[in-house]
Structure 1
């Protein structure tokens, strides 16, 4: 089908939750723009195009302008039902943020290896996988991730407080590799 008018080409259809997203993104953009003076400085005797804050300023103004236009087009579009169901769907994703925060709090207590293995198994169960082989694969995945990060990549991750209760020889190994 060939569009007959410019209006047909750029017709916008509203989606559930569109206005909520537009308002949140506009508020976030305005907040970031308001913080610009605190985060970037104007350097004297430097040309305008070489200022450290030039591109952040341009980017934030574009965010504000386009989020305002998104809000405006959302308000002007025909309203459809399902807004709060969509927002509820978005809010459910914060469940996984909470899981990650719990994981971050567990690592200094239990150590990286046990925390990662427990986290992988828990997320596997939470996703609905109940088979013994699937759970074993998740635990093995947690083990491999730990070994790769700690032993091979030598990422410095705080050791678990539980390692203090191990015998000296096992404790030294656990602090280094687990």
Structure 2
């Protein structure tokens, strides 16, 4: 049986996806702002070739973002728009909640310690995303494994929690050093 052209996936879809132009606009705006900030964020090194300059490769990559974003926008302007742009933007904004979770985790580490913060973060995210029962225990075990690998095994320097100061002397050293 022969497959017709309608059976093949579309490499170039006929309609714009919801939020596509919004995404291109935001991406190009951020890239142009970063390009404009390059002279203040980097320096020109005398005696170095163009490719060895600190601002060259960031400028090339950001220029590529602007160029290809502009080309995308120009080719998609003539295509009929699919409704739902602001619903798509709302999904993007809701995902920012998880940045807040991570910032709370980072702020909690110096207060309650890496072990407690990591266990709370992993189990809290598991509960927040809808997991219950055994999956929450798996998340807690994963958090414990992360602590054992990074802080205990690899001896990564992470600030100890202020709560560790209230532990007995011998236990305090173990908590500060390994957990």
Q: Same fold (TM over 0.5)?
A: yes
Question: How far is the alpha carbon of 1:94 from its aligned partner?
Answer: 0.6
1:155-174 correspondence to structure 2 within 5 Å: 155-174=156-175
Structure 1-normalised TM-score? 0.87
Instruction: For residue 131 of structure 2, give the secondary structure of its aligned residue in structure 1.
Output: coil
Confirm whether residue 51 of structure 1 aligns to residue 53 of structure 2.
yes
In structure 2, the CA distance between the partners of 1:48 and 1:124, relative to structure 1 (3 Å rule), is closer
List alignment gaps of at least 5 residues for structure 1: none
In 2: Cα distance, 1:140 partner to 1:9 partner: 43
Contact map agreement 2:15 2:81 (CA 8 A) in 1: no
**Number of corresponding residues:** 173
Structure 2-normalised TM-score? 0.86
In 2: Cα distance, 1:126 partner to 1:11 partner: 35
Stretch moving more, 134-143 or 168-177: 134-143
In structure 2, the CA distance between the partners of 1:2 and 1:42, relative to structure 1 (3 Å rule), is farther
List alignment gaps of at least 5 residues for structure 2: none
Confirm whether residue 27 of structure 1 aligns to residue 29 of structure 2.
yes
RMSD of aligned residue pairs (Cα, Å): 2.2
